[in-house]
Amino acid sequence: MRLPHDFVPPVPRTRTTVASADGTRIAVEVHGPDGAPTVVLGHGWTCSAGFWGRVLHRLGDEVRAVVYDQRGHGRSEHVPRGACTTDALVEDLEAVLLATVPDGERAVVGGHSMGAMALVALAGERPAVLRDKVCAALLASTGVGRLVDEARVVPHPGPLRAVAKAMTQRGMSDARLLTMLPRWGRRVAVSHITLSPAADRHERAYCTDVVLACPPHTRAGFARMLAGLDLGNHLKALDVPALVLCGTQDRLTPPRHSHRITAALPQSLGLVELSGIGHMTPVQSPDAVADAVRRLVRDHHVTAATVTA
C-alpha cells in the first residue's frame, strides 16, 4: 500500500550515534535548523524514531527536533533481553540529552508510551540532568505502573479478569505469537491493540509495519520490563511544567493512567484527551501532538539568553 507523504519521515539534517553508559550505541536524528528551540522526542515500545514522522512534518522548521531510537529498536544497537531495563532507558535518554541539547539551553522533552516512562524515570534517578537539560515535558499515551492489570487489550468482565490478565501478559511477552499469525491477522491484532476503530487504512498499515519491524527479542525483553514497571514514586520528581495527552480509546494505557499522572505531577499543565483516538497518538492524531509541543515551546522553552535575562 502506498502511504501518504507525511507517513514517510522527513530526511534528518544530521544522523549520529551516542554511547550510553553501558556502551550501547543509540541512533539519533536531528531535524530543523540550528538556533531553533530544541525538542527531544522518545518513542514507545516496538516503535522507532520514524514513528514521530507525521508530527515532525507538522513542526517543520519551527523547532530543532531530536529523535532517537530506543536501544534494540530501529538503527540503535541491539541488546540482549537482560539489557532491556528501566535503568538502561534512563541512561540512554541521559546520553541523548547531554549530547544534543546545547550548553545553556533546556529542551522540551516529549515521550510517547515507553518514551514517556523513560522521562519519568530519569526525573527520579537523574534530577541534575532534569534540572540542567529539561524545561518542560509532554507525556503522551503512557502509564507508570499496573500496565498489565489495567490494559484493555482483552476485555475482562469480572469473573474472567484473571484470564484476561494472563492472556495480555502472554501476548506482550511471547515474541513468537505475533509473527505466527498470517499477515492479515497481524494487522488485525496490531490495529486492535494500538489504534481505535476510527483509524484509517493507512494508519493501520503503517503501525503494523512499525511494530513488526521491531526485533522479537526486543519486543519480549521490554515487555517483561513493562509488566513489572512501578514509577509512581518518580512522578513527584518530574518538577517541570508537564502536559499529559491521551486517546480516550487507548487499550494499552487507558485514560485512567493519564488522570492519575496528571493529578500527581508537581507542575501539571493539565490533560488533553483526544476523543476516539487509540494508543498511537502521534500517528492517529499528529496535529494535536504537534500543537502540544508548540504550546510547551511557546510557554516554557529556556535558552541561555532567557537564563541570563
Is 232:264 a contact under the CB 8 Å cutoff? yes
Averaged pLDDT, groups of 10, the chain, 309 residues long: 93 98 98 97 97 98 98 96 96 98 97 98 98 98 94 61 46 57 74 94 95 91 93 98 98 97 98 98 98 98 62
pLDDT for the residue 180: 65
Domain count, the chain: 1
105-147 confidence digits (pLDDT tens): 999 999 999 999 999 999 999 999 999 999 999 999 999 999 9
pLDDT for the residue 166: 47
Is 71:20 a contact under the CB 8 Å cutoff? yes
Give Cβ neighbours of residue 84 (< 8 Å, ≥ 6 apart): 71, 72, 218, 221, 222, 224, 225
pLDDT for the residue 187: 77
For the whole prediction, is pTM greater than 0.85? yes
List the domain range (segments joined by +) for residue 83.
5-308
Q: Which of 46, 45, 50 is nearest to 65 (CA)?
A: 50
C-alpha cell at 61: 522548521
Residue the block writes with cell 519551527: 62
Is 113:252 a contact under the CB 8 Å cutoff? yes
C-alpha cell at 205: 498499515
pLDDT for the residue 179: 64
pLDDT for the residue 81: 87
Question: Residue 144's domain is classified under what CATH number?
Answer: 3.40.50.1820
pLDDT for the residue 308: 40
